[in-house]
Amino acid sequence: MFFGSPRPAAICLAELVRSFHEVVGVITKVDRRRSRRGAVSKNPVAELADRHVIPIFYDPSDALGLDFDLGVVVAYGKIIPESVLKYRPLVNVHFSLLPRWRGAAPVERAILAGDTQTGVTIMEVAPELDSGGIYAQRALEIGPGETSLQLTERMAQLGSELLLESLPEIHAGSLRATPQDGEVTWANKLTPDEMRVDWSKSPEYLLALVRVGRPWTTLGSKRILLKELHSVDGEIPKSPKDPPGTLGVALHGGTKVVTVTTGAGQMILDRVQPEGRGEMDGLSWFNGITKTGGLCLGQDNIE
């Protein structure tokens, strides 16, 4: 039995389907509409199950009474009832080197913390979140500038490989889980407030926010999503009077660019998405702003 919904889970499910293991069913999230009048959109796991004619269930309690030896959980996103945990053993593919980064956002938290290494853990599912014993772990280096989506994709592939290597021994009982050892850190789900840019932070932290995805700031009453920016610390001087978030225009490599002041150096605003508009380059956005002086992101400066 397979528990999961998003693309990383579908990557693992696809490998299980291609293996000698029989997937008797999937338990996943309920299909949702893309908009009020739009068509119902299946999640990646449900789509894959449909293609392979695998029965789909939406309540974890539906597993009770079904004939399977072992459950596999990947990015399921819900608490599994103890009645299901007692019914059959479940193993989880978790995207961190436990006990570091227990919780819903291990990849994002690793990037924000500046970690250079992470990994995947095959663990037993226990009633307390991500507290189960460990069957296997494998480390993975975090690439410079690697986004959370890119890293998650690689981790899903690595997790699939480690899962398929471990399952025969887990099922046979020759591979036993060992208790987690070390300091526990928590990877709580990121809130919208955490993704709001604090321009007094360092360029390194701001770049990490962009790598995580969907950081936002404001100009007046309007939100702006930051899509791409890069650091030019030391290359473009800033005025000591400019508060963090101050916008400007400068020449960089012979090209006119939009700069923004941070707590430690200047950054170039490469691409943005203003509220209610499509994605565009920073200079085009800046040229469309009616005020041309004293603009400061993160402050109410437009009536």
pLDDT at 234: 63
| Encoded tokens for 249 | 């225009």
pLDDT at 291: 61
| Encoded tokens for 191 | 């809130």
Q: Identify which of 181-185, 242-246, 275-279 has the greatest average pLDDT.
A: 181-185
Overall average pLDDT of the 27-49 stretch: 81
Q: Is the pLDDT of residue 238 over 80?
A: no
pLDDT averaged over every residue in the chain: 91
Overall average pLDDT of the 69-80 stretch: 94
pLDDT at 252: 83
Overall average pLDDT of the 69-91 stretch: 95
Q: Which residue has the higher pLDDT, 174 or 221?
A: 174
Q: Identify the structural domains of the chain with CATH numbers, from first to last.
A: 2-172 (3.40.50.170), 203-287 (3.10.25.10)
pLDDT at 208: 96
> 1-10, 147-156, 174-183, 289-298: which range is least confident on average?
289-298
Overall average pLDDT of the 59-65 stretch: 93
How does pLDDT run across 98-119, given as a tens digit for each residue? 999 999 999 999 999 999 999 9
How does pLDDT run across 240-257, given as a tens digit for each residue? 678 999 998 888 888 899
- For residues 130 and 75, give the distance between their C-alpha atoms in angstroms, rounded to a whole number: 12
pTM here is 0.91
How does pLDDT run across 15-35, given as a tens digit for each residue? 999 999 999 999 999 877 655
